[in-house]
Each structure stands twice: as structure tokens, then as C-alpha cells.
Amino acid sequence: MAVIHHRAHHAKAVTLQSLSLHAVLSPNRKVLVVRSRQQLHLLVHLAAAVQRQAVPHVEADKTMAKIIKIGTRGSQLALWQAHWVKSELERVASQSIGYRDICIEIIKIKTTGDQITDRPLSMVGGKGLFVKEIEQQLLDQEIDIAVHSMKDMPGDLPEGLTVGAIPVRENPFDVLISRDNLCLDALPSGARIGTSSLRRASQIRHARPDIIPISIRGNLDTRLRKLDAGEYDAILLAAAGLIRLGMAERITQYLDENIMVPAVGQGALCIESRQNDGYISQILRQLDERVTRIPVEAERSFLKRMEGSCHIPVACFGKIVENQDGSAREQLILTGLVASEDGTEVIRESLSCFLERDGKELPEIEGASQAAQSMGIRLADLLLMNGADQILENLKNS
């Protein structure tokens, strides 16, 4: 039995009838079933005739590529992050049965945070200023995946959405870029430091009460131009964005957690998806990085307990380190901070725990994540008990 594509039959139906062939159309109407060598011989000649008439030939059994749409902001950094996720998904898909024919598209979405350029975002209020519109398109199934900077994510996700993957984290710290290449301690009294973050401004005021934080908005290029033009003596930025865009040479000083506690999730990406989309969830799991997810889960649990967003002076940073006693056990260290807007009050605490239970290691992501989330809640409660609740209440009423 031989098979001839239906398109040839459709193009030459009259010819088939004139040849009095007993060819039958299969139930799925995609192929002709030929039941004799003579019929096959005649149809081969017919197919050649069809080709000479330039009738397009389409493989009927070719699997249609599945289109996966990634939603992202349209900034230079956001697009870099989305394209990185796209390339990682394509790499994983090429090695995974069932995903090799995917076609990934990037969809740019404008958010509320992108549209507000004339005032500090802390004055606008609300949560998720850089993610709401993207999440809505995810819920509406206009896109399949959303790529965010984790530090832009509020503590709670909309119902029906989940963090499908947290890939490997870039440098999580803040950096100082100064016009005269001066470090923080060397900046002159009265120096003007540009930042759009209350968290950074309050910690800078606490470390150097004699310098002046001033609001700055715009993308990285815009902020660097303002610095170079003399509008500021220095600016504060996240290290991750500069590194990802190839601008690390502009960094004057890295400010680790002993100088400035980073924002929750800083340096990490959040790849968000729908909870009920098993096809997407399965491939995203292959991008998830355990040593990133566990600390970030702890940080986000802290933020949720604080009922905070990225636009209040709340900070938390977690890291996994090897135990100093020489054993193979991993230790999670979590540092949290709440500060008043003027930097005069700063409450900072740290907790640590081994990622084990009943003497057994917890290499599985589920058990370790649960331990990390519990630790984040305990750290938040400790800060609230030590006065952070009053600082946050004063901030809300100011």
C-alpha cells in the first residue's frame, strides 16, 4: 500500500477520474490510499505533472510548531533578560522530547511603572508597579511566560499564577558609581547621590548622614548620562543590571550586605507562569536553580510577612554557605533590615539554619524551600517585635 498526499489529489481530481483509478480518500482527508502497482505508477506520473504546474507542496504530517510567548517590559535591561530566558529555553527544548518544535516570541508590554517618569515611585504607592499589566496578560492567556526582575515582585502573586523558575542569580549587591571614582567613605560632605529607592536612600543616610540622596529616574543609560553631566556626584544602582548590559567597568564600589542590605530578590529573575499550564511548568523546572531559589524563597517570605513592596525601606538578603566546621552541611544565612526614611532608625537582624531535619540533609528543593520560608517569617517577626512595626506604621502615615 502506498500513500500520496491529498494536495496532489485536489489539484488533479478530474485527471484521477479520467484515469478511472480506484483510489480512495482516507477518513482524515489527508492522504490517498493506492491499492495496486499500476495505480501507484500512474499517480507518480501525476505527481510529477502537478509539480511542473508549480502547485505548492506541504507536508501533511509535519507537526506544527508550538508558539510560546514571553511577556516583558520594553526597557533595555528587561529585553536582555527576556532574550536570555528565550535562549535558555531553546537550549533546554533542543534536548527535550516534546519541546523541540517550539517557537518562542517576545512580547513587549508597557507597565504603570514605565509610564510614571516625573516623580519617585514611592510617592505613587501600590504594589507591582512594574508587573501588573504583564501578569494580567498572563492571566488572559495573551502570553505564556512572564519575565521580571525578582526585586520588582510584591510578596503576593495573583491567584492562578506561580513562580515557575528562578534561574541562577547574578551579583545581588548594590553598587556606587561616582563621577570622580571616589568610594562611599571618600565622598565629600554634601555630596549629591542619585537613587530611586527609599531602601538605598535610608541606608545611605544612616551610613553617611552628611551626604544628600536625591531622586533619579530613567534607564541605566539615562542615569549614567545625568551623572556624567554633573547633576550628581554619585549614583546607586543594582550590580546585576550593569553586569548584564556589559557596563561593569563603570562600577566604583560594590556595597555588600554589611554596608547595604539588598532588596528582596535583587539579582535574580522571576519567570512567572500559570499554575495550570503543565506544558510550560515542565520546561521551566529545568531552568530553576536550587542555590538561588532557596535564599530567594526565604527573602520573599520575609517580604510577605512585612506586607511590603520594593518601594519601602525593607531589605532582606539570603545566602547558602558551607558549614565552617568542615562538614558537608549547608547553612542558610538570612539578614533583614527595616529603616526609617531619614535613616535615623535602622533595625537589622540575622538568622541562620542548617538545611537539614532530624539529622538528614534536605537536598530536595521542596523541603529546603519550606525551611527557608519558615526562616523568613521568623526573621520578619523578630524585626517587627524589635520596633520595625512602628517604623512601617510611621511610613504609611507620612
Which cell is 309 given? 513592596
Which cell is 222 given? 539615562
Q: What are phi and psi of 230, to 5 degrees?
A: 90, 10
Cα–Cα distance, 237 to 176 (Å, whole number): 7
* Single-letter amino acid, residue 73: R
Cα–Cα distance, 365 to 336 (Å, whole number): 23
* Inter-residue contact 242 to 248 (CB < 8 Å): yes
DSSP symbols for 200-246: HHHHHHHH-TTSEEE---S-HHHHHHHHHTTS-SEEEEEHHHHHHTT
H helices present in 146-193, as ranges = none
Which cell is 290 given? 536550587
Q: Which of 374, 294, 370, 379 is nearest to 332 (CA)?
A: 294
Would you please indicate which residues are annotated as catalytic (active-site) residues?
152
Cα–Cα distance, 156 to 304 (Å, whole number): 7
Beta-carbon contacts of 43 under 8 Å, excluding residues fewer than 6 positions away, are 2, 4, 8, 21, 23, 32, 34
Which cell is 328 given? 558537608
* Inter-residue contact 109 to 82 (CB < 8 Å): no
Cα–Cα distance, 111 to 93 (Å, whole number): 30
* Inter-residue contact 312 to 394 (CB < 8 Å): no
What CA–CA distances, in Å, run from 294 to 26, 89, 157, 180, 212? Answer: 55, 22, 18, 39, 36
